[in-house]
Homo-oligomer: A and B are copies of this chain.
């Protein structure tokens, strides 16, 4: 049946079409008009919902951060009580997210608006979950006390984000075996360090 003149929920449809196109080909190179076509709508309809292509991308990016935080929270909830396992669970969630949805992950990382403070990153996000978890670990006395939770979180973030990025960028193969092996390697590095005892 023919679509009504008013689509009903075009905004959502466009965003979904965008992720679908992301997944189909391998990059951000989709086009606004393609999206419109996929949604069965003229090339100009998207402009009623987004000021331009950049704003649409920003919306996708923002949704990505929310999804990441949700994944982190879920993984954490299933991780039990051991502080170290909880930290590990967060790292795994991050890495899994990146590998499962490389296009979205790449988009999220690609902040075209320079480095102005980004409210998406600032609050209620995966980073603050990580910080809280490390604060727990710190209070539980299993990690060193001379670094703040914020510093610990930053180091952990850098570590797991680095591996994720390198894998997503294809610099390191991302097969299952390697993901498991390197995950463990990072855990060891992070907690024990590499210096000889």
Contact = CB atoms under 8 A, between A and B. Distances in A.
Interface of A: 26-27, 106, 109-116, 118, 121, 141-145, 147, 151-152, 154-155, 157-163, 165-166, 169-174, 182, 185-186, 188-197
A122 to B, nearest CB: 10
A85 B191 CA distance: 21
Contacts of A155: 159, 185-186, 189, 194
B144 A194 contact: yes
Number of copies of chain A assembled together: 2
A161 B160 CA distance: 10
Given A116-B170, A151-B185, A196 B121 contact: no
Contacts of A110: 106, 110, 169
A116 B189 CA distance: 28
A119 to B, nearest CB: 12
Given A145-B196, A194-B143, A161 B166 contact: yes
A147 B192 CA distance: 12
Contacts of A143: 194-196
